[in-house]
Amino acid sequence: MFQSDFVDFFSRIPWWVVPVLYVPTTIAFVALSVRAGVSLGIVALELGVGWLTWTLLEYWLHRTVFHWVPNAWWGERFHFFLHGVHHQWFNDRYRLVMPPAVSITIAVVLFSALSLVAGLLSAWITPSWVYAYFAGIVLGYMIYDCTHYYIHHAKPRTRLGLALRAHHNKHHHNPKYADLKYGVSATLWDHVFGTYGD
């Protein structure tokens, strides 16, 4: 995909790298939340809200950023590297999950932004909410990447797995759904925003 073998090497990621990196990250941020004195019930709630936030981010990024082709000389190339390669080589086992250099950078920026918000709101709410909330977003990302890999490269047997696979395959392979069915690990936001189709 890239002329440089060095760059190409870092663009080819096996699926298991995602849980290796982000299971410990999720656990660490949940532990920080508990250590900050947040009750387990509130930690679970913040984790759930973080996961729900991720599902919206997943939908929004897929619908807007991943399918955006800038009207510039570099637009087609930008789109191809960002998401077009996945549509062209959807069976490539090593180009399905986001390279860690990208996902870690986004995670650092996101956590920094959440910490800034937590600091600004600290007069009204304790900043410790940011730990479990961020852990929920990370958990959601991990579920998304692993689900995406699974529905492309495994044979789902559960009703949910089969439904997610059918949903995503229609987006990939049926021109009628090219601008529909953006959810991968959850279809909630396709229903909310009218992009579910039939």
Is 137 a domain residue?
yes
**Which range has the worst mean pLDDT, 115-124, 170-179, 185-194?**
170-179
- C-alpha separations of 51 from 46, 93, 192 in Å: 9, 25, 17
Would you place residue 168 in the very low, low, confident or very high pLDDT band (cuts 50, 70, 90)?
confident
Distance, CA of 128 to CA of 36 (rounded, Å)? 6
C-alpha torsion angle, residues 23, 26, 53, 101 (rounded to 10): -70
Q: What is the DSSP string of 106-125?
A: HHHHHHHHHHHHHHHTTTTS
In a domain, 62, yes or no: yes
pTM (two decimals): 0.87
Distance CA 50, CA 29 (A): 12
Band (175; pLDDT cuts 50, 70, 90): confident
Type of residue numbered 98: M
Residue 197 within any structural domain of the chain? no
Q: What is the pLDDT of residues 2-21, one digit of tens each?
A: 556 656 655 678 889 999 99
170 belongs to a structural domain? yes
Number of independent structural domains in the chain:
1
Q: Where are the alpha helices (H) located in the chain, listed in sequence order?
A: 5-11, 17-35, 40-60, 75-79, 85-88, 100-120, 129-153, 159-173, 188-192
b (16+ CB within 10 A) / e for 113-152: ebeeebeeeeeeeeebbbbbbbbbbbbbbbbbbbbbbbbb
Taking the C-alpha atoms of residue 50 and residue 102, their distance in angstroms, rounded to an integer, is 20
Q: Please give the residue range of the domain that contains residue 79.
A: 5-192
| Inside any domain, residue 20 | yes
Query: Of 28-37, 38-47, 85-94, which gets the smallest average pLDDT?
Result: 85-94
pLDDT at 89 > cutoff 60: no
Cβ atoms < 10 Å from Cβ of 25: 18
pLDDT-derived band at 96, boundaries 50, 70, 90: low
143's CB contacts (< 8 A; 6+ apart) are: 51, 54, 185
Average pLDDT over residues 109-131: 95
- Contact by Cβ (8 Å): 47, 135: yes
198 within some domain: no
Mean pLDDT of the chain: 86
> From its phi and psi, is residue 98 left (phi > 0), alpha (psi between -120 and 50) or beta?
beta
